[in-house]
Amino acid sequence: MRDVEVIEDPAAAAVALEPVRARLLAELAEPASAAALATRLGLTRQKINYHLRALESHGLVEPAGERRWGGLTERLFTATAASYQVSPAALGEAGTPAVEPDRLSSGYLLAIAGRTVREVAGLIRRATDAGKPLPTLALDTEIAFRSARERAAFTDELTTAVTDLVSRYHDETAPGARTHRLVVSAHPKPAAPPATRAG
C-alpha cells in the first residue's frame, strides 16, 4: 500500500469522490470483506460489491486474499493507498491555471500548489516504473508574527536568504546537473474548530 496516491484520471476522480466509495476507501486501510463493510456502513452486501467493483476497475482497491467464515469463502479487499489526493490535472484545462505574477496573492499560491501536485505525481509514476527513489525535500513549520510589519520584514529577509543560497548552488552548466523546483510558501494557519461540549 502506497502512502499517498494522486488521482489524475477524471473518471477515477469521479468514482473516488462519490460519498459511499470515499468512505469505503477510508474503511479499507485494512483488508475487509464486502460483508464486513456492509455491516459497518449499514448497506446491503450487493450494494457494497457494486461500489467495490467500481473502485477496483479504476485501480483504487485491490484483492487482498480470501477468508473462510461460516462455511463461506469471502474475498478481502484493501485500498491501494493510505490516502488519496485528486490532482488538478483531473480537470484538464480547467485545472491548469496560469501562474499569476503576484507572489503575494492567494491565487499564485494555489497555482503553485496545484503545479506541485501535478509534477510530483508524474515524477513518482516515472520513478516507480524505473524502480528508482524520487529525491524530494519538504520543510514545514509555524511562525507567529507579532505584527504585519514584522511579517513583511521576515518576507524580505527570507527572500534575500533564498536568493543568496540559489546563487551559490545553482549551476545549470555543470555536467549531469538536474534542475529542481524550490517553493517557499506561507499562509495563515486555519483556526482550530471549536471543541464540542458533551450534552
pLDDT, residue 30, reads: 93
pLDDT, residue 196, reads: 62
The Cα 12–Cα 57 span in angstroms is 9
Mean per-residue pLDDT of the chain:
90
Q: In the chain, what are the domains?
A: 2-84 (1.10.10.10), 87-166 (no CATH)
Confidence of residue 179 (pLDDT cuts 50, 70, 90): very high
31 Cβ contact partners less than 8 Å away, ≥ 6 residues apart: 64, 65, 76, 77, 78
Contact 69, 112 (CB under 8 A): no
Question: What phi and psi, each to the nearest 5 degrees, are found at residue 76?
Answer: -105, 145
Instruction: Check whether 180 has a pLDDT greater than 80.
Output: yes
Instruction: Check whether 166 has a pLDDT greater than 80.
Output: yes
Q: What's the grid cell of residue 30?
A: 485494512
Instruction: Check whether 3 has a pLDDT greater than 90.
Output: no
In this prediction the pTM is 0.75
The Cα 13–Cα 58 span in angstroms is 9
**Angle at 193 (CA atoms; ends 189, 199), nearest 5 degrees:** 165
What are 99-121's pLDDT values in tens digits?
A: 666 777 888 888 888 889 989 98
